[in-house]
Amino acid sequence: MALVGKKFPNLEVDAMNEMGDTFKVNVLEEARKNNKKVVLFWYPKDFTYVCPTEIFAFQKALSEFEKRDTIVIGASCDTPEVHFAWLNTPKNNGGIEGVTFPLLADTNRNLSNQLGILQIGNEQYDESSDNIIMEGPYITWRATYLIDEEGTIFHESVNVEPVGRNINEYLRMIDAYSHFQKHGEVCPANWEEGKEAISENRDSVAKYLSSHVN
């Protein structure tokens, strides 16, 4: 079920930072109380392969998000302790040492379940042990949420594990939505900051298409 246009779930989740501090984060309240946008990105597991490349890409772009009054938060279903171990493992050993934004630890799966992003395996009956066996992982897909200052989701995307995200696209989405918030103009395909936007009327659209689409 699409969550765009809806409020982000009002839930507190454990979090960890690079200093080893464990605390609670309510993403909805982070947006509201700080009057800032939030980018929340979920990755499957700590100490994996594509995940650290994405996390460092977000870290590298952190100042760009901050310029746009946007808070960056990572998330997985690992525990705070595993997050802290990964945050203190050097890059050359597969770690993410140097990352400064918080990581949610949704170990009880409450938030990821509400968002509908868990990879839920199939139940299988094992006759030899007379037990129900769960097959498959119980982790999240690569899901990303952009949340506005009121706590409303204005973008969501979910993709499979092998495919990493394009961080610049989230910056572009934030720019476009901010432009709409400020000017009331809608942003055409491939719009970037500084380019022409469109008023919501047929004349404006016709003029744009005649000058930009061959």
H or E stretch at 135: strand 131-135
Residue 43 near residue 150 (C-beta atoms within 8 A): no
Residue 5 CA to residue 159 CA, distance in Å, equals: 20
Residue 169 CA to residue 159 CA, distance in Å, equals: 14
Residue 53's nearest CA partner among 43, 66, 63, 62 is: 43
* Residue 209 counted as domain residue: no
Quote the number of domains for the chain: 1
Residue 107 near residue 77 (C-beta atoms within 8 A): yes
* Residue 132 counted as domain residue: yes
Higher pLDDT, 209 or 34: 34
CATH number of the domain bearing residue 80: 3.40.30.10
Q: What is the mean pLDDT of residues 117-135?
A: 71
Residue 156 CA to residue 40 CA, distance in Å, equals: 10
List the domain range (segments joined by +) for residue 116.
12-163
List, in order, residues 6 or more apart from 213 with CB less than 8 Å away. none
- 12 phi/psi in degrees, rounded to 5: -90, 140
Give the pLDDT score at 208: 81
**Sole residue written with tokens 């990572």:** 74
Q: Is position 187 annotated as part of the catalytic site?
A: no
Helix and strand tally (H, E) in the chain?
A: 7, 9
Crossing angle of helices 50-60 and 167-183, in 10° steps, is 40
* Residue 198 counted as domain residue: no
What are the pLDDT digits (tens) for 31-80?
999 999 999 999 999 999 999 999 999 999 999 999 999 999 999 999 99
Active-site residue (options: 38, 51, 99, 153): 51
Q: State pTM to two decimals.
A: 0.91
* Residue 155 counted as domain residue: yes
